[in-house]
Structure 1
């Protein structure tokens, strides 16, 4: 899922160059529901595209309308019957994505990988949301080690959320 046109085109090119035929792509944003979303248009060389453009990070007045869907809706429409892993790197829209994946999360209990930074979303709010969904949240060190997080030990970085039932 990639809503930004030039990034989506780069993704398509990368998949073609590497002969990846088992990957399905969608030029859409993942959010809480189906619909449309206005993005600020940022220069192609801007380092933080995607959802960052939704949060007025630049003074750009140019906007583009992109399609959005929820994980629950997309899985239903595409008759997908199993989800083991969700990866989020969407600069502040993580909670909206999780709201749109509640049925999927309750039914399949996938592992959830996310980048957690204070730039666009409180990491405490993201942590609380994952806990409320029935997950234990771990920080992934640069060496790949997992450290269980609590409210008093929250740090920015890569997180892995594991369903409590699997621990």
Structure 2
């Protein structure tokens, strides 16, 4: 009988091959993935938990005090904030920690597969956060829409009025619901709107359309706005996005990362959005 001993290098290679196969499978073949609850002990917040999705295509989230302090710059404790395009909650949770138990954080995402992980995160950190999740897209008008993804595990995706292959070859079997955010808030959270301090938008290239649909909220309540400039956005789209936000009475700033000491650059025109392939910006009311 012979015994084969695996050296550390061979173990690393086998682990790499196993993970590589899992990623390829996740891109082409749908399956449900559970989650793992990780705990982080932070200098100011103490222990904070996060439900990480076990999808091999999704990098595990690590919560840091520096990230929470980034959101604290814009979200006063006890205020009202909104995350549009939450995914599993990687920004929703630090936003909610910044707002605190006495604040309210609404999270919106139409993707049922990431939404179930968001719901898991809602059950954690109850003594520190108050998160209310909704499985909706934010759209100009209420309705039902198709949802497409570029990979079978549905870690990302976009909505449309019809099936469009360019948005991804994988389709949800059921339509998702879209709502007009202003109407929804005025009906359900009118008492909290005066406390609206912050809105984050990250919707896979549809940020301009979402911001246009919430423009009256931005004009009236003047929350800080964070949005993403999608990597595939054209120069025309980027200029239109800049002009839209600026026309609502906001000044825009590039920031390098969601950390308190991020590099910050004032954006003077739509041309400045061409300097990076993909970027996030924050906008503050004038």
TM-score normalised over the length of structure 2: 0.51
In structure 1, the residue matched to 2:263 is 145
After superposition, residues 95-114 of structure 1 pair within 5 angstroms as: 95-114=208-227
Taking the aligned partners of 1:62 and 1:70, their CA distance within structure 2 comes to 22
After superposition, residues 78-97 of structure 1 pair within 5 angstroms as: 78=188, 79=190, 80-82=192-194, 83-97=196-210
Taking the aligned partners of 1:161 and 1:90, their CA distance within structure 2 comes to 17
TM-score normalised over the length of structure 1: 0.83
In structure 1, the residue matched to 2:228 is 115
Contact 2:180–2:213 (Cα < 8 Å) also in 1: yes
Deviations 1:4-29 (A, max 9, x none): 11111010012214436611110000
In structure 2, stretches of 5+ residues that fail to align are: 1-107
Deviations 1:83-113 (A, max 9, x none): 2111011112212212221221111011100
Give the superposition deviation at 1:124. 2.0
| Secondary structure, counterpart of 1:25 in structure 2 | strand
In structure 1, the residue matched to 2:282 is 160
| Secondary structure, counterpart of 1:84 in structure 2 | strand
RMSD over aligned Cα, in angstroms? 2.3
Taking the aligned partners of 2:171 and 2:212, their CA distance within structure 1 comes to 29
Taking the aligned partners of 1:129 and 1:24, their CA distance within structure 2 comes to 29
Poorly superposed stretches of 4+, deviation over 6 Å: none
In structure 2, the residue matched to 1:13 is 120
1:34 alignment partner, one of 142, 146, 160: 142
Which of structures 1 and 2 has the larger relative contact order (alpha carbons within 8 angstroms, sep 6+)?
A: 1
Greater CA radius of gyration, 1 or 2?
Answer: 2
Contact 2:223–2:285 (Cα < 8 Å) also in 1: yes
Contact 1:110–1:162 (Cα < 8 Å) also in 2: yes
In structure 2, the residue matched to 1:125 is 240
Contact 1:91–1:120 (Cα < 8 Å) also in 2: no
Give the superposition deviation at 1:61. 5.5
Give the superposition deviation at 1:120. 4.6
Give the superposition deviation at 1:126. 1.3
Contact 2:238–2:270 (Cα < 8 Å) also in 1: no
